[in-house]
């Protein structure tokens, strides 16, 4: 995968991956569509708190989640705001390229 600004991969050895995954778990309420699903952090957007997660449920889906970095889960969705994509390739075509265009304007 060729990452385009403002997206950058998160390195597993940096400790960022586990920290982002733990933060997501803290923020999810039982009503959130990602609640209870195993995820892996893949990338982070440099200009905001958006994180790209791969859903480890066998579907190939990915999700862009805007982490709030609050100590308690919100009372109900939509927080943390989440956009699901059917695949990493679909996200690259419809999400990352649009984000790059917006960022570079």
- 13 in any annotated domain: yes
User: Which pLDDT belongs to residue 31?
Assistant: 87
pLDDT at 34: 96
Residue 88 has φ and ψ, to the nearest 5°, of -65, -40
pLDDT, position 36 = 95
Query: Is there a domain that residue 40 lies in?
Result: yes
Count of other CB atoms within 10 angstroms of residue 101? 10
DSSP code at position 15: T
Q: Which residues of the chain have pLDDT under 50?
A: none
Q: Residue 55 domain-assigned?
A: yes
Q: Is residue 84 part of a domain?
A: yes
Alpha helix positions (H), the chain: 16-27, 88-91, 97-104
Residue with tokens 């933060």: 23
- Structural domain total, the chain: 1
Q: Residue 61: count other Cβ atoms within 10 Å of its Cβ.
A: 19
- Please count the other Cβ atoms lying within 10 Å of the Cβ belonging to residue 78: 11
pLDDT digits (tens, 9 = 90+) for 28-37: 988 899 999 9
As given in the structure block, the two tokens for residue 41 are 């952090």
Q: Which pLDDT score is estimated for 17?
A: 86
Which residue segment(s) compose the domain that 61 sits in? Answer: 7-104
- φ and ψ at residue 22, rounded to 5 degrees: -65, -40
The whole-angstrom separation of Cα 74 and Cα 45 is 22
Q: Would residue 2 count as lying in a domain?
A: no
In a domain, 1, yes or no: no
């Amino acid at each position: 995968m060729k990452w385009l600004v403002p997206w950058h991969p998160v390195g597993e050895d940096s400790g960022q991956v586990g920290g982002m995954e733990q933060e997501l778990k803290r923020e999810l309420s039982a009503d959130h569509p990602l609640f209870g699903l195993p995820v892996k952090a893949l990338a982070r957007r440099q200009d905001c708190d958006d994180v790209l997660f791969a859903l480890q449920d066998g579907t190939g889906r990915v999700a862009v989640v805007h982490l709030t970095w609050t100590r308690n889960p919100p009372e109900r969705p939509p927080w943390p705001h989440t956009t699901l994509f059917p695949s990493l390739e679909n996200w690259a075509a419809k999400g990352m390229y649009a984000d790059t265009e917006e960022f570079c304007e």
